[in-house]
């Protein structure tokens, strides 16, 4: 069974002071923390989709064992970045059974949560294994290869949410104690950083 991790880090984050992906988090950055947790998971092949500010972000992650995918159409939204990433993986010589989609701005999610998702997929619980918030499926989520065709058709800012909702009976939701909070504003970042991000 071969799974790839796709980290989405292409957004511009207009509501933040500076480049969100490069904001400090512990001894690294928000994106660096996400990459480090992905590296500690059971998955070996990790890809990062960059878009806005890619020329500044890419040099900051070159020391990690990840492959960068640039999305020049990042302004078309999260869905477009997913499509770009999945298209890239489809053309890769490696044939992946599934993709674990991760956001770069959920710093409280750790490798253990990713591994729980992977374990549920390995147990063939469903074709989609999603995290759960307020009784609703969300990312991080694993999508079986049967969903790759739908993923490459995404082209808006809702990401994979429409697939998770439309095909909810095909989704296994993982109930976990992990905090799925995503950092979307400067105030949210400052609050969560003060509590958890100082190292």
The encoded tokens of residue 46 equal 């990790």
199: pLDDT strictly greater than 80 = no
CA distance 70 to 194: 32
Q: How confident is the model at residue 39 (pLDDT cuts 50, 70, 90)?
A: very high
Query: Closest by alpha carbon to 63, among 100, 30, 28, 93?
Result: 28
pLDDT at 177: 86
Domains of the chain: 3-197 (3.90.550.10)
> Rounded to 5 degrees, what are φ and ψ at 164?
-60, -40
CA distance 82 to 87: 8
Torsion of CA 24, 61, 105, 125, to 10 degrees: -140
Percent of the chain clearing pLDDT 70 (strictly above)? 100
CB burial readout 30-50, b (16+ within 10 A) else e:
bbbbbbbbbeebebebbbbbb
Query: What pTM value is reported for the model?
Result: 0.96
pLDDT at 15: 79
The residue among 54 and 198 whose pLDDT is bigger is: 54
80-121 confidence digits (pLDDT tens): 999 999 999 998 877 999 999 999 999 999 999 999 999 999
The encoded tokens of residue 125 equal 């619980």
């Amino acid at each position: 069974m071969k799974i790839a991790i796709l980290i989405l880090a292409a957004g511009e984050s207009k509501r933040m002071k500076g480049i969100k992906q490069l904001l400090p988090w512990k001894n690294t950055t928000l994106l660096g923390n996400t990459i480090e947790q992905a590296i500690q998971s059971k998955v070996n092949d990790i890809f990062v989709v960059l878009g806005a500010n890619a020329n500044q972000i890419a040099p900051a992650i070159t020391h990690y064992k990840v492959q960068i995918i640039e999305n020049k159409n990042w302004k078309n939204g999260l869905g477009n970045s997913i499509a770009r990433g999945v298209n890239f993986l489809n053309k890769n010589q490696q044939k992946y059974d599934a993709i674990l989609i991760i956001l770069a701005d959920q710093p409280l999610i750790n490798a253990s949560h990713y591994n729980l998702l992977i374990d549920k997929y390995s147990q063939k619980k469903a074709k989609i294994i999603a995290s759960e918030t307020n009784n609703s499926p969300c990312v991080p989520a694993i999508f079986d290869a049967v969903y790759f065709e739908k993923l490459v058709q995404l082209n808006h800012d809702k990401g994979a949410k429409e697939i998770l909702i439309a095909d909810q009976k095909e989704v296994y939701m993982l109930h976990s104690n992990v905090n799925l909070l995503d950092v979307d504003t400067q105030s949210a970042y400052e609050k969560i950083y003060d509590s958890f991000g100082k190292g």
